[in-house]
A and B are shown apart, each in its own frame.
Chain A
Amino acid sequence: MFAITSRRGWWYLLSLALLLPGVIALLTGGLKPGIDFTGGSLIQLRFDETVTQQAVQAAAVERGYPGATVQLTEDRGALVRTPPLEVEAKDALVSAIFDHVGPGQELSFSTIGPVVGAELTRAAAIGVAVASALILLYVMWAFRRMERPVVLGLAAIGALLHDALFLLGVFALLGHVIDVQVDALFVTAILTVIGFSVNDTIVVFDRIRENRQRHLRLPDAQRPDFEQTVNFSANQSLSRSLNTSLTALLVLLALIVLGGPTIRLFVVALAAGFMIGTYSSIFAASSALVSWDRRDVPRAWERFRSRLTLVR
């Protein structure tokens, strides 16, 4: 058996190491909201010949869109982002680009008004809050016969927020490095990852519940303590959790490699989320349960305070 919960200090450190770069990227404005949130236009072009980002950008600026950003994609494609455009203005911009840079075709065009963008931002925030609240209630209800169902619920929510924060951080980093913008599908990815993260956590907790009930019937001398039960259950769930996320990752990998570029970032977000979700439910959520049982935080606080008085 693998010692999981006794190494919980290391897992917290690992989580910190995983989350910290992303959080820094988030705080430094790395998460770039796309037109779905801010309003604006997005034009997808494909050129007949290879073009440079600078040339397309220059053509857009010359046409009178100094704020336009251009991003090249595979297959001689380009994404042009501008403030909200009317169809006529877009047509003029596209033909100006083709005139300056070289011939090609327009593949798609989308415009989101600022009003709709603001609505999406609100809906996304409410959606995550409502999902968390419902999950908390559900976990409390599903494990109502266990001791401390609220702690189980909070641990599940903690794991969920851990995963959501990681995903936000990854995309904030990507925003800094390759100027990735997040859209409505990213919100969908976060909610989906939250769903599967809780799904995973519940499977582990289910094992804990089952083993705990069995262990509580044993005579006192043979009964494992809470931590042993949790560690045993996390180990039993390990193989299932790894295999399930492996099969999910297999299909996601196929979509990343073979699927089109349109939803690639969405799939990348899902894949990153599945990986972190598997880790968090086995290692972070189980460790948190044991930490609560062992009063890790109050004890650490006591140690800290006594040291403080010593210094004085």
Chain B
Amino acid sequence: MRRRQWATLAAIAVIFGFALYVSLPGTPGLPFEVAGRDLSDLRFRQGLDLQGGLHVRFQASPPPGQQLQDGDMDAVKRIIENRVNALGVAEPLIQIEGDNRLIVELPGVDDPEEAIRVFRQTGQLLVINTGFDFIDEGTILPADPSQTVLRGRDLRDARVGFDSLGAPMIEFDLQPDAANRFQTYTASHLNEVLTITVDDVVISSARIEAAIRESGVIRGSFTADEARNVAIQLRYGALPVPLEVVETLSVRPTLGRESLELSLRAGVVGALLVLIFMVAFYRVPGLVAALALAVYASVVFAVFKLIPVTLTLSGLAGFILSVGVAVDANILIFERTREELRSGRAIRGAVESGFNRAWTSIRDSNISTLIICAVLFGFGSGGVRGFAVTLAIGVAVSMFSAITVSRNLLRLAITWPALTRPRLFGAGAPAGSEA
């Protein structure tokens, strides 16, 4: 063993230790941030089908004659975000997909039906008399019909304006009948406070300074963009375009936990079977492959946690499958080594040339798998993409574990003379028996 090989082994040990530390459940994580991601939180991200929850895909479907405008989807996203936040779900995912789709994922929701009902709310605007109290922005204020002065449908238009100091504000116009009502009301409630809510969330409170007829302004501490968004919400009273549900998936957390436990158990049993097979068939190299497989599993899991990859049920199946396939490179190498031994080479030379000659096969075959992963990622959605990512990571890591890790471990093993008998390499036939 040369010094460089000891250094490589030490590096492998460090990587293995680090991967184990990261991949253990309940790991305290790493005390720093990388690219804005806090690495002290290294929980294993489970997909909806594992932890339960709700996935809904909406599609904006403008009524005939109406076109989807720029910014409509942003407004939709904002409104849905408000509603989701009102639900109090941890780590919701809300993203725009393509031109006219919105994906909402609410992990761990116990009652998906309730959540869907909340989405269906019409995004009601209310102007409520709150006596002399100013209510903080963002407060949840349930509707009280007796104190409600105006509703969304009373509005004719709303837009962003700027006051004399350049601060953004929202200007609004009322429908004619509402304007009459509002004038009478404001004239008799001077100095009282009106609070504006959308979907029961307070947007601003303002004192009635004078009787308001058909138009007025809302001032608050908002930026021009926020004012624009509020104006959009006011203008439409609800979503700027109707949303159609094109896909729903709801999984009870109990089913998710069950799937997770069953898959993990199957994975452990499968991995053990592979280990037993490798040791029984290839002996010393098989033992080395078993160790390399342990390195493989913990590195892959650590990568999943660090990136982080959200593991779905199919992704988990892909990972488990990759454990069976990860030994492929080892098998290629050991078969080559066996052939070399049978043709009469000494152990050391046989091991080295086994690695060298198997390399092109390993490279070429893995590239074809990576091509498929790219296609799956490009054309798939959700679960399919998750599967592609886990498979690709598995292929990449297996090259490291099967080649770097097992090569160096095997070099170490054959420095021990007792381990160098050809029989211990699964090459049972005496040298030269086969061409």
Please report A residues at the B interface, Cβ cutoff 8 Å: 44, 86-87, 91, 105-113, 115-116, 120, 123-124, 126-127, 130-131, 134-135, 138-139, 142, 184-185, 187-188, 191-192, 194-196, 198-200, 202-203, 206-207, 210, 236, 239-240, 243-244, 246-255, 257-260, 262-263, 266-267, 270
| B contact residues around A108 at 8 Å (CB) | 249-252, 255
Q: List 10 A-B contacts (CB under 8 A).
A: A105-B254, A108-B249, A115-B59, A130-B378, A134-B374, A184-B383, A199-B365, A254-B267, A257-B266, A270-B317
Q: Specify which of A199, A246, A251 is in contact with B369 (CB 8 Å cutoff).
A: A199
Interchain CB contact under 8 A, B248 and A195: no
Rounded to whole angstroms, the CA-CA distance of A202 and B277 in the bound complex is 24
- Cβ–Cβ < 8 Å partners of B277 in chain A: 243, 246-247, 250
Known contacts A200-B365, A251-B267, A262 near B371 by CB under 8 Å = no
Which residue of A131, A248, A259 is within 8 Å of B263 (Cβ)? A259
Q: Which residues of A contact B278 (CB under 8 A)?
A: 247
Chain A residue contacts of B251, Cβ below 8 A = 107-108
Interface check B373, CB cutoff 8 A: yes
With both chains docked as a complex, state the minimum distance between the C-beta of B260 and any C-beta of chain A, in angstroms: 9
Q: How far is the CB of B351 from chain A (nearest CB, A)?
A: 17
Selected contact of A202 from candidates B49, B117, B320, B364, CB within 8 Å: B364
Residues of chain B within 8 A of A109, CB atoms compared:
112, 248-250
B351-386 residues with Cβ-Cβ distance < 8 A to A are 357, 360-361, 364-369, 371-376, 378-381, 383-384
Q: Nearest Cβ in chain A — how far from B253, in angstroms?
A: 10
Q: Are B247 and A250 touching (Cβ within 8 A)? A: no
**A255 with B270: CB separation less than 8 A:** yes
Task: Give the distance in Å from the alpha carbon of A65 to the alpha carbon of B245 in the complex.
Answer: 21
Flag whether B391 is at the interface (Cβ < 8 A). Answer: yes
B357: chain A residues at CB < 8 Å are 210
The one of A139, A207, A250 in contact with B324, judged by C-beta atoms closer than 8 angstroms, is A250
Chain A residues, CB < 8 A from B318: 192
**In the complex, which residues of chain B have a beta carbon less than 8 angstroms from the beta carbon of A184?**
380-381, 383-384
Interface centre among A105, A184, A247 (most CB of B within 10 A): A247
- How many pairs of residues, A versus B, come closer than 8 Å at their CB atoms? 215
| In the bound complex, CA of A258 to CA of B267 (Å) | 9
Task: Evaluate contact between A254 and B380: CB separation under 8 angstroms.
Answer: no
Contacts of B313 in A (CB 8 A): 260, 262-263
Contact, CB under 8 Å: A138 / B367: yes
List, in ascending order, chain B residues with CB within 8 A of A246's CB: 277
B400 at interface, CB cutoff 8 A: no
**In the docked arrangement, what's the CA distance between A179 and B311, Å?**
30
Q: In the complex, what residues of A have CB within 8 A of residue B331's CB? A: 240, 243-244, 247
Contact B274 A247, beta carbon cutoff 8 Å: yes
Task: Give A156 Cβ to nearest chain B Cβ, in Å.
Answer: 9
Task: Please determine whether B361 and A260 come into contact, CB atoms closer than 8 angstroms.
Answer: no
Q: Check: B57 CB closer than 8 A to any chain A CB.
A: yes
Interface string of B98-113 (1 = CB under 8 A from A): 0000000000000011
Which A residue sits closest to B276, measured CB to CB?
A: A250
A87-B117, A111-B248, A246-B277 given. 19 additional CB < 8 A pairs?
A: A108-B251, A110-B247, A113-B245, A113-B246, A116-B57, A126-B379, A127-B375, A130-B378, A134-B374, A135-B372, A184-B384, A187-B384, A202-B365, A239-B335, A244-B332, A250-B324, A251-B273, A255-B263, A259-B317
Q: How far is the CB of B120 from chain A (nearest CB, A)?
A: 9
Distance of A276 from chain B, by nearest CB (Å) = 16
User: B271 at the A/B interface (Cβ < 8 Å)?
Assistant: yes
Partner of A251, one of B117, B244, B321, B360: B321
- Tell me the complex Cα distance, A57–B291, Å: 52
B281 on the interface (CB 8 Å rule)? yes
Q: List chain A residues, Cβ under 8 A from B374.
A: 134
Q: Is B7 an interface residue (CB 8 A)?
A: no
A213-B145 Cα distance, complex, nearest whole Å:
88
Q: Is the CB of A127 within 8 A of B380?
A: yes
Do B57 and A203 touch (CB < 8 A)? no
Given contacts A109-B250, A206-B361, A246-B277, contact A191 B375 (CB under 8 A): yes
- Contact residue among B246, B259, B269, B360 (Cβ-Cβ distance under 8 Å from A116): B246
Residue numbers in B under 8 Å from A267 (CB-CB): 317
* A207 in contact with B361 given A124-B379, A130-B379, A257-B266 (CB within 8 Å): yes
